[in-house]
Amino acid sequence: MNRVKVCIGMCGENSSRWKGELAKKNAIHMYLKRHYLMPEYCEICGERKKLYLSYKHHPQPYTRDIKDYQWVCARCHMIFDGRLQMFKGRRHTEETKRKMSLNNKRTMLGKHQSEEARRKMSIAHKGKPSHRKGKHGMLSQETLRKMSEAQTGRKHSEETKQKMRETQRKRFGGVYNERC
């Protein structure tokens, strides 16, 4: 399939300027890594971890002076950048979480995916492990017992049974419940 790239204002001036900035940052980082030895310990928490160069003063401009940089671990880097704080401060409230969970449950409830969607999902999931992989045996005996109890005495309606039969027939091409 031929894909035609469509410009939506990301081409030309804007993107090249951004790439230029990025290239500059990468070049400086490479320069610094070449010229200054990486210490073994994080300059903030003092832990021995994989370290990253972090610019001390935000925002830019980037300089080639190592004094403007510090070697920090990923965690301190995030805290220093304020990313972790932002993350923490942005947690969903219980109310929001409840709504989100409800929405997720409701979205597909009683609905069917279109053939197109089913086909796409099928392709996307081919060769990938089942979403149940590793999940077996995660529920406690207690939970399993409760689940079983909740189902006890519940019977499928005739309509449901008929539907189930049809599904199985479609699935196994009419050899359901028969010996091959």
Residues that bind Zn ion (CB under 5 A): 42, 44-45, 73, 76
- Of 32 and 42, the one with the shorter C-beta distance to Zn ion is 42
- Of 28 and 42, the one with the shorter C-beta distance to Zn ion is 42
Min. distance of Cβ 8 from Zn ion in angstroms?
40
- Of 29 and 75, the one with the shorter C-beta distance to Zn ion is 75
Task: Please name the residues in contact with 85: beta carbons below 8 A apart, sequence gap of 6 or more.
Answer: 79
> What is the torsional sign of CA 151, 152, 155, 161?
positive
Min. distance of Cβ 84 from Zn ion in angstroms?
12
- Of 83 and 165, the one with the shorter C-beta distance to Zn ion is 83
Tokens of 143: 């939970």
Of 38, 30, 72, 66, the closest CA to residue 54 belongs to 72
- Of 32 and 73, the one with the shorter C-beta distance to Zn ion is 73
Residue type, 176: Y
Residue 170 — φ and ψ, nearest 5°?
A: -60, -40
Min. distance of Cβ 71 from Zn ion in angstroms?
9
User: 42 and 71 in contact (C-beta within 8 Å)?
Assistant: yes
In this structure, the number of other CB atoms found within 10 A of the CB of residue 21 comes to 13
